[in-house]
Amino acid sequence: MSVLLDQLRQLDWRLDFDPGALSRGLKYATEDRIRLLSLSDKAIETSCEGSEGHFYTQRIRLAPKGLGVVGNCSCPVNYNCKHCVAAIIVLLAQPADGWQPPPPPAERLVDDLPPLPHLILGSHAQSQYDLRSGRMVGSQQHRAGLIFEYGNAQVHGKSAKPERLHHRSNGERLSIARHPRAEQAWRDVLRQLGFKEALRQSLALPVNSAEMFELPNDEQWLHFMREHLSALREQGWKIDIRPGFQFDLTQVEGWYAEVDEAPGREWFDLELGIVVEGRRISLLPVLLRLIQRNPELLDPQNLQRRKDDDQLRLQLDATRAVDGRPLQVMLPFSRLKPVLTTLGELYQRDQDPAQSLRLSRPDAARLSQLEGLDLHWQGGDELRELARKLRDSGKVTITPPTGLNAELRHYQLEGLAWLQTLRDVNAGGILGDDMGLGKTLQTLAHLLLEKESGRLDRPALVVMPTSLIPNWLDETERFAPDLRVLALHGPGRKKAFARMAEHDLLLTTYALLPRDLEHFTELPLHVLILDEAQFIKNPTSKAAQAARQLEARQRLCLTGTPLENHLGELWSLFHFLMPGWLGDSQSFLRNYRNPIEKHGDATRLAHLNARLKPFLLRRSKEAVATELPAKSEITQWVELSDRQRDLYETVRLAMDHKVRDEIDRKGLARSQIVILEALLKLRQVCCDTRLIEESGTRTRGSSSGKLDSLLEMLEELIAEGRKVLLFSQFTSMLALIEDELRKRSIDYVQITGDTRDRRTPVRRFQNGEVPLFLISLKAGGTGLNLTAADTVIHYDPWWNPAVERQATDRAYRIGQDKPVFVYRLISRGTVEEKIQQLQAQKAALARGILDGREKEGWRLAEEDIDALFAPLPRLS
């Protein structure tokens, strides 16, 4: 015997085979299927008779270095299969002195067994590139596979010469004669029905599994299924319809929607389905599985391209009453589009759905998408009415309160109607209009209507930055004098706590709310309003936590920048407005932030927009305030001075080394603080070298090419009679600018974080007493109305374009009647230039959410680090 067989006897070779192959191989070994082809010390070659008379060849050897048995087989499994197991067992069972081949098996001849036709029907969906349209186009292929059955033996294809089938039946070997003429007669039946031989391969049925036929078009397939299939069965044909065959269809008798609304609860169950064979069948589980396999079905652009009469085939979770086959239907996209749009919430869940979809009460707004589908509704009348009100809020004609001393513009009337609708349906929302469109006025009109209707039987509370208290007092006195207002601000506020219930409108600040929380929690409110609500963009801040503890019938947010940096800020606002509606922060990160911000997922973005739309009213000045004059935005490139260039390169080299060491140790994500500190120093050098040089340092040359350019600009602009707002985020830079202005006897006023009296500098500038207003970006980005200005200068760029825009809107707002020019001073070739590029990317994120547009992804990547710390270009 060979050395190889001796080695196999010494090994536990069974460890190299899975249990299924071992059990099936053992059975084959007892059925006389193995024939030895060759035997050596290195390899064994055998032949094994498989199922249905197929013969497979095995080659068995040992892997080097004791790594086990390697068995290759010509069967589909290919490696260490049951045939290899059977071969090893049979060979090891032979005497050690040599192999004695068994005698050839005996077969019984069968010549009079007629063939019976077996027809298999299948479909396959495929996509291919269409040169005319320039995009991928989906299509379906369908095949009818013909097999002839001789008893339990099957065969397909034409026989070139007299042929016999070798088959094992009940342990007996049979040699069965084929009957080509009888087979051809069955083929002719198919041809008479319009079938032709399929010349191209298709995945509609397995390759070489049958003789393939096809029909010219879908209409003939449908005709065949309706008119001829039952006749073939009566003639003795065996029909096998594979799962997914497109034309095995059942008629849809109707559509229904059922809403199970639990009284007093914040959720409801929605079931959508069809009526087939008199049975109601939910579509939700079927559609979810389809969406998980084909997420592009929820892609808004893909849905838009679908014609209303396009059809989608669905296999339902039910069987036919007659024959038990799975029910399949064709559904038109005219009905599916609104259904698929509504299913976005279902798609984001990880678990399998039940027959119905559980939705939060605010999501009832999306039921309006299903109106007009001729659905048979059961339940949910109140929720459907809520959905209609939210959908039609912009169409409602509303009469302003009689006590309002202002004429509301058309879009302000729409905003008032929207606020009233939210109150009517017990919902909160974000009034996210651009700065200068009158969010305060619309809110005062809303509160005044509540008072005149008798609903304002509790106070309303507005929480705001400290700087806005005077603005709210002034505008309330001017526009809504009938509202009794109380400002809870300053050291004397404690005496006023006892009188809060006597007032209609209470004002406090984000800084004071946590300190005075115990007084506010004891007082139920009618409306709780957060002005400049981006102040709670961090949900763990004291102000955000305090605001969520207050009791109010309605909660509102006012902000021109509901999203500044990332979607988590928007989640924080809705966590205040409607806790739990967008899930917790981790599920929101998983379901929305990561797909949208990191991967640009248009489907997730569209779904989030659809959910937010009823509760976020966003209008831009360009869209609604057509009376505003033009705004010109200009990038003013400046060159660094020689002194700046030398210092910039020195700092850049040191910071680049420091940052890369930190990234190597902690990774990019955990190195943000060090990166920002390094970039801060480079930005300060771009402003003026004195911002980082030690005091008393004696150096030659200009400390700032940008400051030199600014002073030239100011002298020219002021000489032209322009009124200028100058913003910088560095108060130390504003101090340096002040020194230069005093040297040149240029009058100015200023607001920084240390400014206590904000009204006086605003009044002096608005009255035309001074031509220049110096403002720190943080202190003056909100709450100022400076329409006397016609020029805005941003001395240094900030990461967030929304913050810069807010600052610009101090001048470019309702009431401005002059063209506004906005200058950004950018040091060429420096980190400031890269910041400007990143600004555009972050602005795209905000547009995608607030305006419903597609966004470009934004994240700080390795290539951004390379660009931010790139050396200065050489001077030509």
For 757-766, the pLDDT digits (tens) are: 878 888 898 8
| Top-confidence residue, 568 or 480 | 480
pLDDT of residue 513: 93
CA distance 850 to 589: 18
pLDDT of residue 781: 59
pLDDT of residue 354: 66
**Segment of 16-25, 395-404, 426-435 carrying the highest mean pLDDT:** 16-25
pLDDT of residue 852: 42
Which stretches of 54-158 are DSSP H helices? Answer: 82-92
pLDDT of residue 555: 93
pLDDT of residue 859: 47
pLDDT of residue 160: 64
- Among 650, 639, 645, 642, CA closest to 872: 645
CA distance 742 to 828: 28
Cite the residue boundaries of each domain of the chain with CATH code 3.40.50.300. 634-641+701-868
**Segment of 228-232, 303-307, 419-423, 446-450 carrying the highest mean pLDDT:** 446-450
pLDDT band at 231; cut points 50, 70, 90: very high
Tokens of 31: 């059925």
Mean pLDDT for the stretch of residues 839-858: 50
Mean pLDDT for the stretch of residues 318-340: 76
Q: Strand pairing partners for 141?
A: 124
pLDDT of residue 842: 60
pLDDT band at 285; cut points 50, 70, 90: confident
pLDDT of residue 52: 64
CB of 792 closer than 8 Å to CB of 821: yes
Q: Strand pairing partners for 139?
A: 126
Name residues whose C-beta falls within 8 Å of residue 334's C-beta, 6 or more positions apart in sequence: 308, 309
Tokens of 330: 């064709």
* Continuous segment of H or E residues that includes residue 748: none
pLDDT band at 604; cut points 50, 70, 90: confident
| Top-confidence residue, 7 or 369 | 7
Cite the residue boundaries of each domain of the chain with CATH code 3.40.50.10810. 399-624
> CB neighbours (10 Å) of residue 520?
25
pLDDT band at 346; cut points 50, 70, 90: low
pLDDT of residue 104: 57
CA distance 578 to 162: 79
> CB neighbours (10 Å) of residue 729?
22
Q: What is the dihedral of CA 259, 260, 263, 267, to 10 degrees?
A: -80
pLDDT of residue 196: 95
pLDDT of residue 854: 36
Task: Report the percentage of the chain scoring pLDDT > 90.
Answer: 24
Mean pLDDT for the stretch of residues 151-155: 85
Mean pLDDT for the stretch of residues 558-564: 77
Report strand pairing: 267-276 vs 357-360.
Answer: antiparallel
How far from the centroid of its chain's Cα atoms is residue 153's Cα? 53
Q: Which of 218-232, 492-506, 560-574 has the lowest mean pLDDT?
A: 560-574
Selected from 1.20.200.10, 1.10.3470.10, 3.40.50.720, 3.40.50.10810, the CATH number assigned to the domain covering 399-624 reads 3.40.50.10810
CB of 842 closer than 8 Å to CB of 797: no
pLDDT of residue 814: 67
Phi, psi (5° rounding) for residue 369?
A: -65, -20
CB burial of residue 668 (10 Å; 0-12, 13-18, 19+): middle
Which three-class secondary structure state does DSSP give residue 169? strand
**Segment of 246-255, 620-629, 839-848 carrying the highest mean pLDDT:** 246-255
Is the pLDDT at 252 greater than 60? The verdict is yes
Selected from 2.60.120.20, 3.40.50.300, 1.50.10.20, 3.30.360.10, the CATH number assigned to the domain covering 634-641+701-868 reads 3.40.50.300
Mean pLDDT for the stretch of residues 537-544: 88
pLDDT of residue 845: 56
**DSSP 8-class letter at 83:** H
CA distance 378 to 306: 29
- Among 689, 659, 686, 661, CA closest to 675: 659
Is the pLDDT at 237 greater than 60? The verdict is yes
What's the chain's Rg over C-alpha atoms? 39
Is the pLDDT at 782 greater than 70? The verdict is no
pLDDT of residue 860: 56
| Top-confidence residue, 379 or 158 | 158
Q: How many residues does the chain have?
A: 876
pLDDT band at 861; cut points 50, 70, 90: low
Tokens of 205: 């049925």
Task: Report the percentage of the chain scoring pLDDT > 70.
Answer: 88
User: For residue 66, what are the CA distances in angstroms to 13, 92, 222, 610?
Assistant: 11, 19, 60, 62
pLDDT of residue 116: 95
CB of 663 closer than 8 Å to CB of 865: yes
CA distance 707 to 714: 10
Tokens of 297: 């079905």
pLDDT of residue 432: 86
Q: Which of 26-30, 500-504, 797-801 has the lowest mean pLDDT?
A: 797-801
- Among 299, 260, 372, 319, CA closest to 135: 299
pLDDT band at 53; cut points 50, 70, 90: low
Is the pLDDT at 281 greater than 80? The verdict is yes
Q: Which of 231-240, 510-519, 590-599 has the lowest mean pLDDT?
A: 590-599
CA distance 587 to 598: 15
User: What angle (nearest 5°) sits at the alpha carbon of residue 304, between those of residues 303 and 310?
Assistant: 65
pLDDT of residue 619: 82
CA distance 448 to 403: 7
Is the pLDDT at 336 greater than 90? The verdict is no
Side chain identity at residue 149, one-letter code: E
CA distance 563 to 566: 6
Please provide the average confidence, as pLDDT, over all residues in the chain. 82
Is the pLDDT at 785 greater than 80? The verdict is no
Residue with tokens 């007032």: 503
CA distance 441 to 431: 12
CA distance 134 to 656: 46
Which stretches of 455-516 are DSSP H helices? Answer: 469-479
CB of 688 closer than 8 Å to CB of 703: yes
Handedness of CA 532, 538, 542, 547 (dihedral sign): positive
Which three-class secondary structure state does DSSP give residue 431? strand
CA distance 314 to 436: 52
Tokens of 503: 């007032």
- Among 411, 420, 493, 489, CA closest to 453: 420
CA distance 874 to 649: 12
CB of 26 closer than 8 Å to CB of 89: yes
Dump strand ranges (E) for 816-858: 820-827
Side-chain-side CA neighbours of residue 556 (13 Å): 32
Side chain identity at residue 306, one-letter code: R
pLDDT of residue 349: 55
pLDDT of residue 103: 59
Is the pLDDT at 734 greater than 70? The verdict is yes
pLDDT tens per residue across span 690-708: 998 876 666 677 888 889 8
| Top-confidence residue, 349 or 75 | 75
Name residues whose C-beta falls within 8 Å of residue 57's C-beta, 6 or more positions apart in sequence: 37, 45, 46, 47, 73, 74
Mean pLDDT for the stretch of residues 442-466: 93
98-117 in b/e burial notation, b at 16+ Cβ within 10 A? Answer: eeeeeeeeeeeebeebebeb
CB of 444 closer than 8 Å to CB of 475: yes
Is the pLDDT at 436 greater than 70? The verdict is no
Q: Which of 94-108, 167-181, 506-520, 699-713 has the lowest mean pLDDT?
A: 94-108
> CB neighbours (10 Å) of residue 307?
9
Is the pLDDT at 857 greater than 60? The verdict is no
